[in-house]
Structure 1
């Protein structure tokens, strides 16, 4: 902190959730579906183990790292030198726990703090707690009701995020007991979608936090195959729930967080009339819209209960809201069959993380379409319903694949240098995807008989606003003829400077 300029560590592009070794000479982080470590002397990063969808880690004084490698499992432990991780905690099914995340070691390494999560932050009846775990016995001590990453201050405080502010309570790390009243520490502290509070405390009690939230506003525009703007849908909006274009190309459904709104709602943009308005008003966030055949209804996921309950509402706003699909942990839709009887759903399960399932609406039965220990996401059903395009990171880099839905076990890799967000042209003869560099690629498809495709070719490059790394929402959509595209491009990114606070404990809890 004595230097004004940050120092970039080589070969850490895409790295997230860094944490220090106990001696301060190394940094562990997550990237490319792996837990990695790097020293500060310029050595290349070393992979420690797999971590497909991480939610934090902590490096103990005994050379062990505790981490959440998949966000629907308990904590795992692995040697910092590398190797196979072992389970450390188990989700309590009686409490409907769905994740253990954001571990923090207490002094001495005999105990750690973590979040036992039962719901997404802000969900109704959220019973998530911050707990202490004994590393020797596995005993858990419940400390306080909260759903955010915990922080431990050596001056004897437990810090956590609640209702927009960083708050604290007195905490004895020896007896594992909290005391006194919860008190405010800093207002308007940022919290990300995975309940990570943007704050940290050093060994001497110095607090650093990021005020507010990071807002990435989009311009919703229409571009041609060369990327030239030919129309504007909305100049500056906060797209936090994906988008989907109606089959006739005349209306756009978008997950928008409007000014003053408590959460994300589905908005409908009439591209011909130039009008727009909210379609949903439910408690919780409404995201990932999908149009029905005939464009009469919109399906969407609401996260008020869990990862998503699917609802259907008439696209003109009339009629009653109808629940379409639900599971114990939740799901979201990537596409609906032509007859409306089944859908391609994204589901998160413990051992296999993100999976793609067929969900039969009448029976509620789920059948795996793509299931692996890695993140299999962004399912795109071909117009003839014979093929499923999707992205997976099983090679350590996200790539686009196509597999048959007719019982054939064949799988074809479409992208060659990384890619995601596949989408089909209405006739199924062209498939699109986006590279990590923001290039929209096109592939010619011949699917009569055996599946065949051309090499990818770039149509244009854009600064797509594709949200977070594991966001399930689409950020572009081809028009039916593939000659134009609706795109969400980055309009502006707003954030704040880091704030450093000393002596914040003066008067704390009094």
Structure 2
């Protein structure tokens, strides 16, 4: 009896011990698992203006917008966008076949669709993952990715600057959600994410006078009360983690801070939790996302500040730095008398500067933070540029000495960019996107005397741009992709007349020598030259390569994205030197994605351990 009783006691103790062990096993945190995978050969994530890495709502699929970095069998042209999908339970990813040339993916709340930015056509399209043709969602002159929320609205930034807007997921008219505070010099609200419960969004705020998104801030906005409060000063691209933390980017790392979503309050100090994340402090794009199931995915890399250098390059390819400190230089232009250089510095704010080499003085000539791509008038007295100040990208000009106000050149139209003036100052050639056709950009001419009624010069279903008047004013060189690759053509002005092909095997961004006897253009990293004569008719020699080197092309090439680009170089009057922009952040590319399963659990441990 005693033995039986003792056996019963031991059995009971064993059962209790097993139950305790089982409870410990079932309540223990799930293990953190790390793995990585390579992106398809010849493709990768290159820093740009948008975060392009995102999870599906169920956390089972990661999507990324990739660019072709080098041509491998059948991969397409360099720079072309493709959307990549990788399920977490698959060994291989795949490229989305029904959306070529599209990027910036955002999943629908049910995970069945993607919103993609059709970059060549400047529209957002809705793409079914089950297949079928993309459907127009909204026009998008420029877009910053947001969040397709469960309230059936897409929260995003429509334009490089401006507030968060929302658009019904059925398509239709957008309405502003936040309001940019101009008195506080706010420029843009971007990277919107809806918080759990659907009552508030978080987003990045940038301001005038700030040169890096590392110095931006993160705000929360309550939809019903329309009240806004600052959560973090010094960071960008916020994402909420179900662990109860706000995660954001700064300086190549991810930081986390405890976050109370009910009271929209940060309840602790920031802690660095991940290093080595690809991001651009120049554009505010960080390439990571956190799923609702607590998994982190990020593109392995570093912070890129868009740093560049202005250099002279001679006809043999030898370089001489101008001695400027590294900045985000773009679109340098030499004045007609050769004594000054105007250029853009881009980033959080975009403004224009004039450098006088003789006096070693630099003058900032715009202060609105939304000015781009300067062009001298032939007399050197005025500078034309494109600006967002009217709410759309339009053409403006101003006195180079700032003796008068800025003036809009065209009262209508958008996605306009001045390229060159006729020598007699009677016309300005400019790029304009065909918004109605949604297909491409065209070359237009605007009379500067009498009635300013624009007229098309080269308009087709293809993209044309970078139209440059010859020094004698009788010819116009421009770029077109009508042969499925960019090429340089010349036509007589004012026309009509023959279209004469000048480049071979590709060409963009034509620029004339000051005496009109030579025409230069880019072919990838090659600087090309063609000897020309314009009287009694136009004749061109066989193109020759002067040198090859990696220098900035601006935003792509003059033929795309449509209507937004111009040559990011200039030529000295004698054609012996080229003013180029050298990219110093040439490694801002990632070809590998790192995944951290149960990252939400790791966040709790890391933040708690470093309190």
Give the TM-score category using the shorter length: 0.7 to 0.9
Residue number among 589, 593, 597 corresponding to 1:498 in the alignment: 593
Superposed, which structure 2 residues align to 1:296-445 within 5 Å? 296-303=339-346, 306-314=349-357, 318-323=358-363, 325-349=365-389, 351-352=391-392, 354-362=393-401, 363-370=403-410, 372=412, 374-377=414-417, 379-393=419-433, 394=435, 395-403=437-445, 404-406=447-449, 407-416=451-460, 417-428=462-473, 429-435=475-481, 437-445=484-492
User: Tell me, which stretches of 5 or more residues in structure 2 are unaligned?
Assistant: 1-86, 507-522, 526-552
Report Cα offsets for 1:487-510 as digits up to 9, x if no partner. 999999953311112334253222
Greater shift in the superposed pair: 500-509 or 198-207 = 500-509
Distance 1:6 1:458 in 2: 42
Q: Which residue of 1 aligns with 2:606?
A: 508
Distance 1:456 1:69, change over 3 A: farther
Distance 1:313 1:96, change over 3 A: same
What secondary structure does 2:605 align onto? coil
Distance 1:297 1:476, change over 3 A: closer
Count of residue pairs brought into register by the alignment: 455
Is 1:182 the counterpart of 2:270 in the alignment?
A: yes
CA contact (8 A) 1:119 1:127 kept: no
Shift of 1:480: 8.2
Q: Which residue of 1 aligns with 2:112?
A: 25
Shift of 1:461: 3.2
Distance 1:52 1:156, change over 3 A: same
Distance 2:259 2:107 in 1: 23
Coordinate RMSD, CA, aligned: 3.4
Distance 1:327 1:476, change over 3 A: closer
Greater shift in the superposed pair: 149-158 or 388-397 = 388-397
Report Cα offsets for 1:13-37 as digits up to 9, x if no partner. 3322211111111111222222221
Q: Which residue of 2 aligns with 1:268?
A: 312
Residue number among 332, 337, 345 corresponding to 1:294 in the alignment: 337
What secondary structure does 1:13 align onto? coil
Distance 1:337 1:28, change over 3 A: same
Structure number with greater CO (CA < 8 Å, separation at least 6) is 2
Greater shift in the superposed pair: 163-172 or 280-289 = 280-289
Distance 1:11 1:419 in 2: 26
What secondary structure does 2:273 align onto? strand
Distance 1:147 1:445, change over 3 A: farther
Shift of 1:468: 3.8
Residue number among 261, 280, 293 corresponding to 1:204 in the alignment: 293
CA contact (8 A) 1:464 1:489 kept: no
Distance 2:325 2:211 in 1: 13
Residue number among 175, 187, 201 corresponding to 1:86 in the alignment: 175
Shift of 1:400: 2.3
CA contact (8 A) 2:278 2:286 kept: yes
CA contact (8 A) 1:311 1:325 kept: yes
Report Cα offsets for 1:241-266 as digits up to 9, x if no partner. xxxxxxxxxxxxxxxx7xxxxx2221
Give the TM-score normalised by structure 1. 0.79
Distance 1:505 1:179 in 2: 15
Shift of 1:194: 2.5
Shift of 1:209: 0.7
Shift of 1:300: 1.8
Higher Cα Rg: structure 1 or 2?
A: 2
Distance 1:97 1:489, change over 3 A: closer
Shift of 1:290: 0.4
What secondary structure does 2:186 align onto? coil
Shift of 1:157: 1.5
